[in-house]
A = this chain, B = another copy of it.
Amino acid sequence: MSDRLAILTDGLLHESAAKTGHGVMRYGTRDVGCVVDAVHAGRRAVDVAPFCDHPAPVVADVPAARELGADVLLVGVAPMGGRLTPQWRAMLLEAIGLGMHIEAGLHTTLADDPELAEAARAQGVQLRDLRAAPADLDVPLGREVPIPARVVHSVGSDCAIGKMTVTLELDRAARRRDLASVFIATGQTGVAITGWGMAVDHVVSDYVAGAADRLVREGAQRGDLLWLEGQGSLFHQAYSGVTLGLLHGSSADALVVCHRAGATTVGDNARTPLPALAEIARAYEQATAWVRPAPVAAIALNTAVLDEEQAREACRQAEAETGVVADDVVRFGADRVLDAVLAAVR
């Protein structure tokens, strides 16, 4: 796609909820013209979004984005539940009216929405649903039908803590070493970045494991070291089913556990405490072994809220607690975690 994107973050550019936007700016190769966010208008993405080095200007509204030459409006926020809100609907209609294509990974299928579909038809623009799933999904084949690749699956203690980022960084580091490494997107942001993959949280629940199995087999045609992005968390009431389906469907050879340093609850909810990191890692190994065992090869810590000395200490502590390598792959580089993974899947 050679489009010029405007990324809609609607007041959330500084929040992890805007992870689709952040991911496309940090890891994508697509042309990002600007961000649409009234709260942060007048600044640049690099000055607002965490760990973002993109200089795209932030504008207040859709017409301003259009004036800067954007011809695609990408919904850059992944809201809880994934529904289209009335406010966003108005902005999408405004963009369509200005001749822009729409791209989104919501559960609300844009093409099935009569109002949006009619407006898009009238303007001759496209509605691109990043979460659209293939119609011929099925249950997994499993390892009885061999997968000619090593599969590394990143899992996590919570949502929106950087599983996709960790996975992309590990793939990037592996490719720098000339390994036949492939990032496999399992969420709408990853699909927006790479142009393939599947948003597994949008498939019929019976087919989540089958979707993971298919993605891994597709990945094996592109390389032999596969990094399958994780979704949700075994500890998150709303999304644990997707997490386990992906885990079992992936037939992973090794796991990387992603964790926000110091986190003691799921989300900010004091009623849902997280166990200690070593127990989290053990839970993933146990759950994996219900179908096919795989070791936790390393911990990827998100230390964004700590200063550098605290961050290094958090990594040391995590290593002492779990007995495997722990590092912040965004802050300190992915090589140590990559080495640990390669040793585990050798």
Chain A residues packing against B (C-beta within 8 Å): 80-83, 107, 138-140, 142-144, 200-210, 234-246, 248-249, 271-272, 283, 286-287, 290-292
Contacts and interface: CB of A to CB of B under 8 A. Distances in A.
B200 A205 contact: yes
Given A272-B291, A290-B234, A239 B283 contact: no
User: Taking each of A205, A235, A236, A291, which has the highest tally of chain B beta carbons within 10 Å of its own beta carbon?
Assistant: A205
A271 B292 CA distance: 9
Contact of A242 (B138, B142, B206): B206
Contacts of A144: 271
Contacts of A200: 205
A291 B81 contact: no
Nearest to A209: B238
A182 to B, nearest CB: 22
Interface hub of A107, A240, A272 (most chain B Cβ within 10 A) = A240
Nearest to A202: B204
A242 B244 CA distance: 9
B202 A206 contact: yes
Contacts of A271: 143-144
Contact of A291 (B209, B240, B291): B240
Contact of A235 (B138, B243, B290): B290
B83 A240 contact: no
Given A237-B249, A283-B286, 4 more contacts: A201-B205, A201-B206, A206-B242, A272-B291
9 contacts: A140-B238, A204-B205, A205-B242, A205-B245, A209-B238, A234-B287, A240-B248, A244-B244, A283-B290
Nearest to A143: B271
Contacts of A235: 290-291
Nearest to A200: B205
